Amino acid sequence: MDQIPHNQTKQSRMVFKDVSQNKALKPNEYFGRYLIDSELGRGGMGIVYKAYDTHLKRFVALKVLSQSAKSLGRFMRESSALAQLKHPNIIRLFDFGELPQPYFTMEYVEGVPLSDLIKEKKISAKFLLEIMIKVCDAMGHAHKYNILHRDLKPSNIMISSEQEPIILDFGLAKMTDTKERSLSLKGEVLGTLLYMSPEQFDGKSTTKSDIYSVGATIYEALTFRTVYQGSSYHKILYQTLHGRPIAPRELNPEICPYFEAVCLKCLEKKQTARYKDFRQLTKELQNLKANRPIIAKKYSRWNVARKFIRQNKVVFYGAMLAMAFLFVMFIVTSLWWRDAEGRLHNAQQKFLTTSERQTVIIHKLSLALKHSLQNNNANDDELDVLLSDIDKAIKVGDASQWDFVKEAITVPRKKPVVQNVGMYFAKGLNFLHTGNYLAAIENFTLSIQHNPQHSQSYAQRGTAYHQMKKYDEALHDYAQAIKYDANNVNAYANRAFLYDDLQKDHLAIADYDKAILLKPQSADLYNNRGYFYFTRNQYGLALDDYNKALQLNQQHPIVHANIGNLYYQRQKYSEAIASYKKALIHHQNPQSIYRNLYDCYRQLNDKRNMKFYAQKMRK
């Protein structure tokens, strides 16, 4: 039990002191009913003190805010919400008020900040995994009450004397359902730069922003350095928006590749590429701890190349265009000199003239090609003029050698594009499959405008909305698709996925059943319903559906892999191994199967096969 300070008795008189926003309190000074013991730390939001509550006879952490009056409304509203949080890994909020200036008190926790353990390199990956599972569970609890932290970092995670993580300082917390715009400054940038997500620099914090901060914390604890390095705000901002984190294993090869994969997935710049919520992230970390399969994929050199291309599109496509131009030059030059043997002397005499004319021809070809790509008009007088200029420029060699180039240029206008329902629908499907959901929605909408009863366009647009988490729009489109075609299997199957995400199990099952009724020969539909049952721990029903899928397609690799996961979950490792090996025969991603086989043999303590599949994973 906390002891009353030696200079405080029951008869002490409480003094309400007028505290300046910029003046720090000294030991033995009063702040309302709180007696200051010592300063614990300070930041942009205010100063934190260890103080003694003279009413409740206990030590507390007192934070005196330095926010301006225009933030007071937000502070009071959100403090009320924070007071409702009750989780063993979230610091308890005791009291808050406005006088003598805005403040709140929290439980005083004896312990060591995670940041200190990282600085001293006294944290193991195993202990980090243990505490981050609890931190993520606590953040999921806060998000359930629509509260964001927005300043999660190692210094705000206290490791108590019982080795339990306690999340501190919800001082930047914000309610996600706040509708009063006046309570938050538009575009306000809050939080610590090194742990802020790209969207936070625009003042647009979401639940995914806290997931990013968890990733930055894991990264620092694994590598003992921050994600990005920089001596100024602008350098850190640029790296956060445009840079690529160094893969943790490049800094320390001893780091588990799957822990690295989870960390980097949290740090994705696009919010849609991160975990969808803390519930999913907590489950992911629990699976990692239990050596079960995880969602995140191991980081590879291909990931590095792909991200470089995405972030440097202009450079990449410029290089590709230059290579294409050089290739055309090579072909053109080869054709030009195809009959040059035997006429070397004449060619040498005319070298300068020929080279100059080639340059002119290539330039005119470029103009014609550019015009052709920008215009699809079948009757294009301007293109005819450009082609005529090319003919006039060709005075050396056989003009027929250039015909193949002119033929390629005129192809686009020989087949004029007809913009119809099928055209828009096909373009929409292409964008949907490549992940460009906005473009997909735009083309499906154009298709619907041409044919307002085109059921498949509604169904696929619903899928695009679903991927963007616009659930109401997706449900509307699926309903429209079914309205115009009651036998639209895709609409029922995809709506089942949506109901699954929304955890409306009875509606999901109804749609899975309807889709299978309409298309009973689809192995994929049985597999999808089986996976639904699997995630609900209804293993018997799941296995029945998986077996029905195999009756329709005995070589379906995903079904075999899912059966392996089911047996693994039930600790039937020999049966899991048999299913995983069947999946290997036709699976497009054998690395994930190698990992699962390795995990099975590890559970069986079969070191010879563990070594074999460990080598497979490294290839």
The rounded distance, in Å, linking the Cα atoms of 103 and 65 is 6
- Please give the span between the terminal C-alpha atoms of the chain, in angstroms, as a whole number: 58
Sign of the C-alpha dihedral, residues 114, 125, 298, 502?
Answer: negative
Report whether the peptide linkage leading into residue 102 is cis, meaning its omega lies within 30 degrees of zero: no
- Nearest alpha carbon to residue 529 among 568, 497, 481: 497
CA dihedral (90, 92, 95, 100) positive or negative:
negative
C-beta of residue 531 within 8 angstroms of C-beta of residue 542? yes
Q: How far apart are CA 209 and CA 200, in angstroms?
A: 7
Of how many residues is the chain composed? 619
**Is 63 marked within a binding site?**
yes
Three-state DSSP class for residue 314: helix
DSSP three-state, residue 13: coil
- In 90-200, which ranges are continuous DSSP H helix? 114-119, 125-144
Query: Which residues are 31's β-sheet partners?
Result: 34
DSSP letter string over 432-484? Answer: HHTT-HHHHHHHHHHHHHH-TT-HHHHHHHHHHHHHTT-HHHHHHHHHHHHHH
Cβ neighbours of residue 472 closer than 8 Å, sequence gap 6 or more: none
Structure tokens at 74: 């937000």
**Strand, helix or coil at 34?**
strand
Give the other-Cβ count within 10 Å of 110's Cβ: 9
How far is the C-alpha of 374 from the C-alpha of 367, rounded, in Å?
11
Token pair of 23, please?
Answer: 């003046």
Q: Are 555 and 586 in contact (CB under 8 A)?
A: yes
Both structure tokens of 313: 């599109």
- The tokens for 160 are 């108590």
Whether residue 157 contacts residue 165, with contact meaning beta carbons closer than 8 Å, is answered with yes
191: alpha, beta or left? (left if phi > 0; alpha if psi -120 to 50): left
Q: Look-up: residue for tokens 């498949």?
A: 456
Residue 147: strand, helix, or coil: strand
Angle, helices 455-467 vs 421-433, to 10°: value is 20
Residue numbering of the annotated binding site: 63
Residue numbering of the annotated binding site for ATP: 63
